[in-house]
DNA sequence: TTGTAGGCGTTATCAC
DNA sequence: GTGATAACGCCTACAA
């Protein structure tokens, strides 16, 4: 932890000026003799460039921030997993901001862009408020928003499409002969809740199925709440033959309740989840689930940001990532073991020390 | 994205020197009149302190790095989830390094400490090589290692204890009357694999149970591999009445195979996993699992690092976090629904835009 | 109380 | 080619 050497230290040691040291270090044309003496000195001293000083001079930090509510959320996590390598390969470090469910913190993070400790930011806002739009309009560095932002906001924008996602699921259930398809949704005042509710109505309409209030139950995006909501729905409409759940946790809750009630899945009631998290493959029966393409959205966002950091001047771009349905046992039955390698992503034990 | 204002800009606008601006911004005693003019100018210009310049001067970045193999691994993720808020509350940003399973990358990351873009680092090495030890010995900033590091290495060290963890599980199974307890392990040349194997032998010995090669099968830490290994073990020893699995994924594989073979869990065969990931609570039957305290290790590591960043001079410290057994249906049966709130951590849908 | 000046470690522009 | 020297934006003696 000794005071690290600087180019000045090297210059002295090699008997040259700091300018020459800098040249050598940056591979600029230099006499061979000078090169070797500088290199030797640097080697001996264990010199490493100071990133902070470089950044001050170059106005580039080679850092990018990723801000979202909670790394524990599988959707954000899969974004992160894609963003990380893309940035790394491009020579950028990743600064992580987990803001919690607090909108004010998101504003803070946007504000902190002014500190210029990063070259740009990828953000997944919980919801987009007026304050967000103001900050985005005056941001001192490029921002890519994952989520939806009004037309005219001067940022790149990567969107999911859960309405279509719900529709994929409903179509699938319909094709399997289900006609009394329930919806177990999250709160309607959240962006996903509203979009999924709308998708459900739309899908039914397109299939010529009637919309029936009794087949819809609102809870929250948690397993407990899912159980409660499904129990209620089941009591009210025992004839339901399929359940569209607004996320995988709700769907797990549905499996719990159906099992306890002695209903077979999928023979009596088919179940579809959403987000296609690792839990979907792990559950029994494994869960048919709609992926909203978190991974792809993450990757796309990173690519858009990098592109903008190469100082290309584009108008704001909007990319919508299509959803995808992964069919598993909870709708089609069968032993269907998880695909090989499917769960490999979260594999491997973890190092420990076997102490004690 | 206009060129941001600096203290010079403000100084001109307020008609004072940059020194005065700096004083006001840092709350040093200043005449009221000056204060208000500077504040006004700063406000109007939307001034934000440049973090890079500050860091250069103060030799503090207020950034800390967390380096591990893969954010997707639930164990690392739960560390991250704990580290994040601890650092944030202390005013540090978190730089994430996902090194992949490449040892050379870990060395690179340690080397990059010399660039001084962070004040310190928390690292979870895959395994600790000579190269690691060298880098750690000469690190230019404090490092906390999660994992085990030889006595004398000049870094703080937070350890798990999977040997004791295995023992907890075996004791539990023994108390339930199981006597032919199999082990489904990962590769023995990994730290966790070796430790878990040792713990298994130890635990059997302590209980007076014979060690039987036929009851042990080595695979890898993945679900597929778990299935394969369990199938082999089951074919060889159909009389096995319990399976200790070296992680949760292997245990899920075990459930798959047992179900396919018509063995009831836990009546015929009890199953225990390890790491106590979200998957354990999600599976059916829910999985009894040993937690190695990843979350607590993460938090502890963060606290140790922060403490050291407050320039306290300690000798290297070693903390060992004890394992804990979470009992669920795969050993005790029963409907035992997941505890309320247990799966809440990965809850909530994700924002999207319902576009398209 | 305030301003001038020097330095944090690099890079880059000049003359030489 | 190479060496002074001036930034980058901020903080802080020291002098006024």
pLDDT tens string for chain B (356 positions)?
457 899 999 999 999 999 999 999 999 999 999 999 999 999 999 999 999 999 999 999 999 999 999 998 889 999 999 999 999 999 999 999 999 889 999 999 999 999 999 999 999 998 889 999 999 999 999 999 999 999 999 999 999 999 999 999 999 999 999 999 999 999 998 888 999 999 999 999 999 999 999 999 999 999 999 999 999 999 999 999 999 999 999 999 999 999 999 999 999 999 999 999 989 988 889 999 999 999 999 999 999 999 999 977 889 999 999 999 999 999 998 754 444 334 444 444 555 544 43
> Tokens 């840092």 sit at which residue?
B26
Site from B64, B132, B167, B347 to mutate, A interface, most A CB atoms within 10 angstroms: B347
Contact between residue A304 and residue A315 where contact means Cβ atoms under 8 Å apart: no
Q: How far is the CA of A116 from the C1' of C15 (A)?
A: 34
B-chain residues within 8 Å CB-CB of A193? 349
Domain with CATH 1.10.260.40 in chain A: 1-48
Q: In A, which residues are within 8 Å of B76 by CB distance?
A: 350
- CB spacing of A1 vs B139 below 8 angstroms: yes
CB A56 within 8 A of CB B53: yes
Separation between the CA of A252 and the C1’ of C6 (whole angstroms): 66
Residue B122 phi, psi dihedral angles, 5° rounding: -110, 125
Res A299: pLDDT: 98
Amino acid B334 CA to nucleotide C5 C1' distance, rounded Å: 78
Backbone angles phi, psi at A128, to 5 degrees: -100, 110
| Contact across the interface for A160 and B355, Cβ inside 8 Å | yes
List chain B residues with CB under 8 Å of A191.
351-354
Q: Which pLDDT does position B344 carry in this prediction?
A: 41
* Chain B neighbors of A116, CB-CB under 8 A: 4, 50-52
Position A1 pLDDT exceeds 60: no
When mean pLDDT is compared across A190-199, A266-275, B297-306, B329-338, the lowest value belongs to B329-338
Distances A304 to A27, A60, A207, B332, B352 between C-alpha atoms, Å: 30, 18, 37, 51, 18
Q: Do A52 and B116 touch (CB under 8 A)?
A: yes
d(CA B111, C1' C6) / Å = 32
Closest nt to A23 (CA→C1')?
C11
A161: closest CA of chain B, how far (Å): 5
Q: How many CB pairs under 8 A join A and B?
A: 334
- pLDDT score at B211: 97
Residues contacting B143, CB < 8 A, separation 6+: B110, B113, B120, B121, B122, B123, B136, B155, B156
**SS (HEC) of B253-269:** HHHHHHHHCCCCCCCCC
State what percent of residues in chain A have pLDDT above 90. 85
Instruction: Give the pLDDT confidence score for residue B311 in this predicted structure.
Output: 77
Report the chain B residue with the minimal C-alpha distance to residue A105.
B88
Kindly report the pTM of this predicted structure: 0.92
**What's the pLDDT score for residue A335?**
52
Tell how strand B324-326 and strand B288-291 pair up. antiparallel
CA-wise closest residue to B280 among B263, B298, B255, B243: B255
Host H or E run for residue A144: strand A143-146
Return the CATH fold of B162-291: Rossmann fold (3.40.50)
Tokens of B133: 């030890």
Other residues' Cβ atoms within 10 Å of the Cβ of residue B202: 16
- So what's the pLDDT on residue B335? 52
DSSP state of B114: G
Please tell me whether any atom of strand C lies within 7 Å of the Cβ of B115: no
Q: Which of A299, A201, A307 is nearest to A244 (CA)?
A: A201
Residue B22 near residue B57, CB atoms below 8 Å: no
**Angstrom distance (rounded) from CA A258 to CA A122:** 40
Distances in Å between the Cα of B40 and the Cα atoms of A2, A115, A202, B37 are: 43, 19, 53, 5
pLDDT band at A345 (very low <50, low <70, confident <90, very high): very low
Render pLDDT for A114-140 as a digit per residue (tens, 0 to 9).
999 999 999 999 888 999 999 999 999
Which of A42, A23, A273, A48 lies closest to A166, judged by CA?
Answer: A273
CA distances from B147 to A265, A273, B58, B305 (A): 43, 37, 32, 15
Q: Which are the contacts of A241, defined by CB distance < 8 A and separation ≥ 6?
A: A178, A179, A180, A181, A268, A269, A270
Q: Under CATH, which number does the domain A61-160+294-321 receive?
A: 3.40.50.2300
Residues of chain B with CATH 3.40.50.2300: 61-160+294-321, 162-291
Sheet with B242-245, side-by-side order of all strands: B216-218, B181-185, B242-245, B270-274, B288-291, B324-326
Q: Tell me how far CA of residue A50 lies from CA of A43, A55, A248, B327, in angstroms.
A: 15, 9, 46, 51
Pick from B94, B96, B61: nearest CA to A52: B61
CATH code: domain A1-48 is 1.10.260.40
Average pLDDT, chain A: 92
- Closest by CA position to A331, among listed A226, A200, A242, A234: A242
The number of C-alpha atoms within 13 Å of A353 and in the hemisphere containing its C-beta is 24
A142, A149, A161: residue with CB nearest B356: A161
């Amino acid at each position: 932890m000794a005071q690290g050497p600087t180019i000045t230290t090297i210059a002295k040691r090699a008997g040259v000026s700091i300018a020459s040291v800098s040249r050598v270090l940056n591979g600029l044309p230099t006499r061979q003799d000078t090169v070797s003496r500088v290199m030797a000195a640097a080697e001996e001293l264990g010199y490493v460039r100071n990133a902070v000083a470089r950044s001050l001079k170059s106005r580039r930090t080679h850092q990018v921030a990723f801000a979202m509510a909670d790394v524990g959320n599988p959707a954000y996590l899969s974004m992160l997993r894609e963003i990380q390598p893309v940035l790394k390969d491009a020579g950028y470090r990743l600064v992580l901001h987990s803001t919690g469910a607090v909108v004010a913190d998101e504003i803070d993070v946007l504000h902190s862009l002014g500190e210029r400790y990063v070259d740009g930011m990828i953000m997944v806002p919980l919801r987009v408020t007026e304050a967000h739009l103001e900050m985005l309009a005056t941001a001192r560095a490029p921002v890519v928003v994952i989520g939806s932002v009004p037309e005219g906001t001067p940022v790149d924008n990567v969107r999911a499409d859960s309405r279509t996602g719900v529709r994929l699921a409903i179509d699938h259930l319909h094709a399997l002969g289900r006609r009394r398809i329930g919806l177990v949704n999250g709160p309607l005042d959240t962006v996903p809740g509203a979009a999924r509710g709308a998708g459900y109505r739309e899908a039914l309409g397109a299939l010529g199925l009637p919309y029936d209030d009794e087949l819809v139950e609102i809870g929250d995006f948690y397993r407990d709440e899912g159980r409660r909501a499904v129990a209620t729905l089941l009591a009210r409409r025992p004839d339901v033959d399929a359940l569209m759940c607004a996320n995988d946790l709700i769907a797990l809750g549905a499996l719990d309740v159906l099992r306890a009630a002695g209903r077979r899945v999928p023979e009596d009631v088919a179940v579809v989840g959403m987000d296609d998290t690792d839990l979907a493959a792990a559950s029994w029966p494994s869960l048919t689930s709609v992926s909203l393409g978190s991974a792809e959205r993450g990757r796309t966002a990173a690519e858009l940001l990098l592109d903008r950091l190469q100082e290309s001047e584009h108008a704001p771009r909007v990319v919508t990532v299509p959803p995808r349905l992964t069919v598993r046992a909870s709708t089609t039955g069968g032993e269907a073991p998880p695909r090989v390698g499917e769960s490999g992503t979260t594999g491997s034990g973890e190092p420990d020390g076997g102490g004690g």
